[in-house]
Amino acid sequence: MPLVQISMREGRTTEQKRQLVRLVTEAMVEAAGARRERVTVVIHELPAENWATGGLLLADEPLQC
């Protein structure tokens, strides 16, 4: 059973996450030969103040999708 875990900054809409899950599932089916009903996708949303890149908190920058 493939398990795909996605960590991203919180702030996306439910519709954006719905599309992300659909596309990731499709990619696993096409690229890895996984059975659609066996693909599990987990989204971990993190507050911007709990994530940093290049020594800067994401909270100090606007959301860039």
Give mean pLDDT in consecutive 10-residue pieces for the chain, a chain of 65 residues.
95 97 98 98 96 91 67
Token pair recorded at residue 40: 């599990």
List the structure tokens of 65: 């999708």
Number of other CB atoms surrounding residue 22 within 10 Å: 11
Q: What is the pLDDT of residue 6?
A: 98
Q: Hey, which CATH number is domain 3-60, 3.40.50.300, 3.40.50.2300, 3.30.429.10, 3.20.20.60?
A: 3.30.429.10
- Which active-site residues does the annotation give? 2
pTM over 0.75? The answer is yes
Look at residue 62 in the predicted model and tell me its pLDDT.
Answer: 72
DSSP-based three-state secondary structure for 55 = coil
The C-alpha atoms of residue 60 and residue 49 are separated, in whole angstroms, by 8
